[in-house]
Structure 1
Amino acid sequence: MNTDKKVAIVVVTYNRLKLLLQAIDALLKQTYTNADILIINNASTDETEETLKPYAQRGDILYFNTGENLGGAGGFNFGLRTAYEQGYDYYWMMDDDSIPTPTALAEMMKADEALKGQYSYLASYVFWKDGSPCKMNAPRIADDWINDAALAEKGVMRIQKSTFVGFFTKKDIVEKVGLPIKEFFIWSDDTNYCWRCNEVAPGYLVVDSKVEHRIVSNVNADIITDDTDRLARYVYAFRNRYYNYRMVGSAKNYKIYVFKKFMKILTKSKNQKWKRIRVMMKGVRAGKHFNPPIEYVTKREKVKS
């Protein structure tokens, strides 16, 4: 394995200090050592900044404060841009409650060599604390994965999308597709980014690159069942999803998706059914004209008409 490739490990954090310290500890134990840990603090209001000062002074991490809470999408936009501007060629992105096994990054670098760089992104295998696959981070296997079936012997499988927990990409891809859309704030920013990457080159799951996601419960977030005090955030979910469907020319399928959610809320939600529907429809209305720009790390030449 070529160890000359320098990796920026981009971790976005917000008010989750205890888990963040566990994540940093795991990252410092990676067997692939030609990497720097970039902590992107989304203006946490707990003691994150003070606690991380000794880590930064020792050189264990590189620390950046965004100055305001930009959400996960904005944090990864900030972090990926920062890593690019710092001169790194490879980027491994994750949340502050992501705990990689010691060889997780080394397995990414092995896959990079096996694929001879012919990919747009790689995804770690994300599991929950009981060892089962983490549902919210399950990748979508590509319909044409069989065309690359020989790679399965090397623990690599073609996928259509993954999440930003254990997401690995490289400089030339970021130059081509730009940065995550910060205006998404939360939800669907990683799906959007994967779809943009897929237009350049395939993405792959690296089965032996393993990351534990220490979320409270192993369930997908869903407006149908989520706690009522968390409903407001689903405006972002429905708005951003609408944008993604429009991006790939599937606005009709989005309407079918919303109708199915509407019916399931009516039949399966145990409380606040109309509040859930109002939140959903607020997101739908917002998504109809939501058209944020894609930021690029290099200047784009204007296409002559």
Structure 2
Amino acid sequence: MKNVCAVLVTYNRLELLKESISAILNQTYKVHQLIIVDNQSTDGTSDYLKQTDDARIKVYTPSKNLGGAGGFQIGINQAMQNVENDFVWIMDDDTIPQKDCLDQLLKPIVSGSVESTGFMCSNVRWTDDSAAVMNIPYTTSYWNELAQQGLIQVKAASFVSLLVSTKIIREVGLPIKEFFVWGDDYEFTWRISKKYKSYCVCSSLVTHKMGANHGVDIVTDTIGRIPRYFYSFRNSLYTERHHDGVKGFTIQILREFYSVHKVLHHSKDHKWLRIRYIFKGMLAGLAFNPQIQFPKERL
């Protein structure tokens, strides 16, 4: 029997959080522990979590909002402090796993049908059961190697039902908290898949209850969200140059200049503000060099 610690990061989504917690604690394969990082919610989340009486739940509240990246680093690090945990199961607060989701993630590992697995991720659906656009994993060239077993080999995936062993985390380190938002899951999972084969398990289903099922783009996004794209461009440039060298760096620079082109030709308003944040993120990404932390270190 493998012990699994679920890690969930939340911020101002109380009703969805309640649904997610219930789904996690009522899996057919019981979780050993559930660590919740509350990123300074202001919607009553703290009061609700204080009332929980399930001994498996541990709550951590940082002194300030550390973004998704900082929250996941704290949560995963805390999961690693319990030597009884064999796996960490990572997700957002609007992730609702089906009852046998965890069981399906573990099956290929427990049965021995895959060896030296890096991570396993779920098949993420939206509320209408269509594929969740923001959570489609990046496949490898040999994606169909185990397709007959319902396993798709992937290079990277999102933190929406991701299972990784504590052994792997000790080896590759924690997500990078300095990312704050955007791309911490992509970098972390790519770091793993460079060393170990990783898979999307088609039969492991979760619903990601996002407000809408579409991607986001600085070209069309609302004015209030434009500053967030600084992290997107900065983090992407770091990840590509760090993991794919000159080739990745060059391709990402071209992508970012193409984003400028799209803004100039297709954005309906605030074009220069959008371009400003593209270049701000790009310039920051040239020097951005955060150090990967490991579980043995205190955060």
1:78-117 superposed matches below 5 A: 78-87=74-83, 88-113=85-110, 114-117=112-115
Which letter does structure 2 place at the counterpart of 1:190? D
Report percent identity of matched pairs: 39
Q: How many pairs align?
A: 292
Which letter does structure 2 place at the counterpart of 1:37? L
* Offset at residue 116 of structure 1 (A): 4.5
Q: Distance in 2 between matches of 1:158 and 1:116?
A: 11
2:51 partner SS: helix
Q: Structure 2, unaligned stretches of length 5 or more?
A: none
Q: Distance in 2 between matches of 1:115 and 1:263?
A: 47
Q: Distance in 1 between matches of 2:47 and 2:219?
A: 39
- Aligned counterpart, 1:194: 189
* Offset at residue 58 of structure 1 (A): 3.5
Cα RMSD after superposing both structures: 1.4
* Offset at residue 46 of structure 1 (A): 2.3
Q: Distance in 1 between matches of 2:104 and 2:58?
A: 23
- 1:126 paired with 2:124, answer yes
For the 8 Å contact 1:10–1:92, the answer to whether it is kept is: yes
Q: Distance in 2 between matches of 1:69 and 1:86?
A: 24
TM norm structure 2: 0.94
For the 8 Å contact 2:24–2:31, the answer to whether it is kept is: no
* Offset at residue 275 of structure 1 (A): 1.1
* Offset at residue 194 of structure 1 (A): 1.3
Q: Distance in 1 between matches of 2:73 and 2:183?
A: 13
Instruction: Identify the range of structure 1 (250-259 vs 232-241) with the bigger mean alpha-carbon deviation.
Output: 250-259
Which letter does structure 1 place at the counterpart of 2:8? V
Which letter does structure 2 place at the counterpart of 1:138? I
- 1:294 paired with 2:289, answer no
1:16-35 superposed matches below 5 A: 16-35=13-32
TM norm structure 1: 0.92
Q: Distance in 2 between matches of 1:280 and 1:235?
A: 6
Task: Identify if the C-alpha distance between structure 1 residues 153 and 142 changes in structure 2 by more than 3 Å, giving closer, same or farther.
Answer: same
- Aligned counterpart, 2:50: 53
Q: For residues 77-100 of structure 1, what are the alpha-carbon distances to aligned partners after superposition, in whole Å with 9 as ceiling and x for unaligned?
A: 001100001221101100000001
Which letter does structure 1 place at the counterpart of 2:86? D
Instruction: Identify the range of structure 1 (27-36 vs 244-253) with the bigger mean alpha-carbon deviation.
Output: 27-36
- 1:172 paired with 2:170, answer no
Candidates 52, 69, 72, aligned match of 2:68: 72
For the 8 Å contact 1:7–1:92, the answer to whether it is kept is: yes
* Offset at residue 134 of structure 1 (A): 0.5
Q: Distance in 2 between matches of 1:58 and 1:141?
A: 38
Candidates 283, 287, 296, aligned match of 1:285: 283
Q: For residues 267-292 of structure 1, what are the alpha-carbon distances to aligned partners after superposition, in whole Å with 9 as ceiling and x for unaligned?
A: 22121111111111111111111100
Q: Distance in 2 between matches of 1:164 and 1:43?
A: 20
For the 8 Å contact 1:5–1:34, the answer to whether it is kept is: no
Q: Structure 1, unaligned stretches of length 5 or more?
A: 300-305
For the 8 Å contact 2:6–2:31, the answer to whether it is kept is: no
* Offset at residue 138 of structure 1 (A): 0.5
1:145 partner SS: coil
- Aligned counterpart, 2:213: 218
Q: Distance in 2 between matches of 1:180 and 1:60?
A: 23
1:158 partner SS: strand
* Offset at residue 199 of structure 1 (A): 2.2
Which letter does structure 2 place at the counterpart of 1:258? E
- Aligned counterpart, 2:258: 260
